[in-house]
Structure 1
Amino acid sequence: MAHILIIDDSPTEQYVLRTALEGAGYSVSSANDGEAGIKLANETLPDLILMDVVMPNMNGFQATRKLSRQPQTADIPIIMVTTKDQETDKTWAKRQGARDYMVKPVNKAELLSKIKDILG
């Protein structure tokens, strides 16, 4: 069973994503901000990370950049899941190391399809 880490400061978004992922058979853990997410990613080495952008302390772009540059987490695919819908945000996310980008509210079927494509 693949393990997915959700990094999002919204308890509601965490709940919505967790429910969809667990319903599809994934193991899920979560963190409330970028710093906690990086720490948890290093401890658990998830198969995939869903990353919000707008968070306190360290935003999702910063956390993605850090995770993609650390040898132990560099190969973990990251999908940005955010309300930021500008093309410049999508381009910047990819430059930081994100594999894909989805705008909230996410379509559950589309999210699960992207995860399946990435994890194989």
Structure 2
Amino acid sequence: MARILIVDDSPTEMYKFTSILEKHGHEVLKAENGADGVALARQEKPDAVLMDIVMPGLNGFQATRQLSKDEGTRSIPVIMITTKDQETDKVWGTRQGARDYLTKPVTEETLMKTLNAVLAG
């Protein structure tokens, strides 16, 4: 299936998302912060990125902006998955280049429906 990059500093969330994605046949790449996520996306060219926002160093907004402005990664869809649930956060995430925005906790059904939609274009 698809290669999905998870960028999240929470081991619990990383485990949860990895389990769901692998159960549905996807290959998972992992980064624990925004800077590593951007570097891995540039190197591996995943089919999609699941991006947390609140992380040390480069946050998810900054990392998403870098990916969406980079010629080599701008076509990779980013789905922000975060605890930040304010409408202004969602608008800002979209302005940074995110294709979708989900608020934690995310159900398996919601994650897969959203991921399949962005992978389909």
Tell me which interval the TM-score lies in, with the shorter structure as reference length: over 0.9
TM-score (normalizing by structure 2): 0.98
SS in 1 for 2:28: strand
Structure 1 unaligned spans of 5+: none
Q: Which runs of 4+ in 1 moved over 4 A?
A: none
**How many pairs are equivalent?**
120
**What SS is found at the alignment partner of 1:30?**
strand
Deviation, structure 1 residue 100: 0.2
Shift of 1:48: 0.2
Task: Name 2:19's counterpart in structure 1.
Answer: 19
Residue of structure 1 equivalent to 2:37: 37
Q: Give RMSD over aligned pairs.
A: 0.5
User: Alignment partner of 1:35: what SS?
Assistant: helix
Deviation at residue 117 of structure 1 after TM alignment: 1.4
Q: Distance in 2 between matches of 1:12 and 1:6?
A: 12
Q: Where do 5+ consecutive residues of structure 2 fail to align? A: none
**Which is worse superposed, 42-51 or 110-119?**
110-119
Matches within 5 A, 1:75-86: 75-86=75-86
State the 1:119 CA deviation: 1.2
TM-score (norm 1): 0.98
Is 1:60 paired with 2:65? no
Distance in 1, Cα, partners of 2:36 & 2:28: 15
Deviation at 1:107, TM superposition (A): 1.2
Q: What percentage of residue pairs aligned between the two structures are identical? A: 54
